[in-house]
Chain A
Amino acid sequence: MPRPRADASATQMILQANDDIVQGLAAAKMALELGETEMAQQAVEVTLITAKSIVTDLIDLDPQHDLHLTRSHSSLIRR
């Protein structure tokens, strides 16, 4: 069965959100490599806010869509 296609505005939003997160994490990693811990911390904080806003933005885009919080897989973050 073919997967449903996301509409163009949702796709654009996801691409932009993905880029924002990667940019933020890349900046944090680069800052850590250079010993710029304050800049790294700032980049992580901004990225965290950005990441959290993604779901809100997607829900705003389609308020009729039921929100499912069950994950398809466990979080990839490990100790």
Chain B
Amino acid sequence: MTYRVVVADDTAPIRLLLSMSLPAYGPFEVVAEAVDGAEAVVKVRKHQPDLLLLDLSMPVMDGLAAAELIRTFDSTVRIVVFTGFEAEDLRGRAGRVGVSAYVEKGIALDELADLLGGVMSAAARGFGPTGDGVIEDTG
């Protein structure tokens, strides 16, 4: 089983490095990249991925607004926030808009892949996209 992933991040090298590393460290295929929140919404609607790896601070539309919009038409895609912010406030807000996990940038790539695998395993076991909110937390 390979999980289809959309990566949304305004930093080009991060998109490239995630696209290189995720298939190397786990059962993931990056099917599309998005450079901002608005494009993330479009790419999720178009590609219907299993997982969206979502930066928070992006131009045009931020990650939280994108997640909220995505939840209006897709209740199953797992959304994992991948951000440099560690603010407790943001972690709570991410949970409320249907995010499965909040991951701080700087995590080792193999750990990130393990964590994403855990999110997808929870999905396979029948847990909803959000469960009771944020189910994983690297902060």
A contacts, CB < 8 Å to B: 15-16, 18-19, 21-27, 29-31, 33-34, 36, 39, 42-43
- Chain B, interface SS category: helix
Residue of A22, A26, A33 contacting most chain B CB atoms (<10 Å): A26
Report 16 cross-chain contacts, Cβ distance below 8 Å, ordered by A residue.
Answer: A19-B84, A22-B84, A23-B11, A23-B14, A23-B84, A26-B84, A26-B105, A26-B106, A29-B106, A30-B14, A30-B18, A31-B13, A33-B108, A33-B109, A39-B13, A39-B17
Residues from chain B with a CB closer than 8 A to the CB of A29 are 106
Beyond A15-B57, A16-B57, A18-B84, is A23–B17 a contact (Cβ under 8 Å)?
no
Known: A23-B84, A27-B14. 12 other contacts (CB 8 A): A16-B57, A19-B57, A22-B84, A22-B106, A26-B14, A26-B84, A30-B14, A30-B18, A30-B21, A33-B21, A36-B17, A39-B13
Residues from chain A with Cβ under 8 Å of B3 in the complex: none
Residues of B whose CB lies within 8 Å of any CB of A are 11, 13-14, 16-18, 20-21, 24, 57, 84-85, 105-106, 108-109
Assess A22 versus B105: contact at CB under 8 Å? Given A15-B57, A39-B13, A43-B13: yes
B17 in complex: contacting residue of A15, A22, A25, A31, CB < 8 Å: A31
Q: How far is the CB of A50 from chain B (nearest CB, A)?
A: 11
Q: Are A25 and B109 in contact (CB under 8 A)?
A: no
**Chain A nearest Cβ from B98, distance in angstroms:** 22
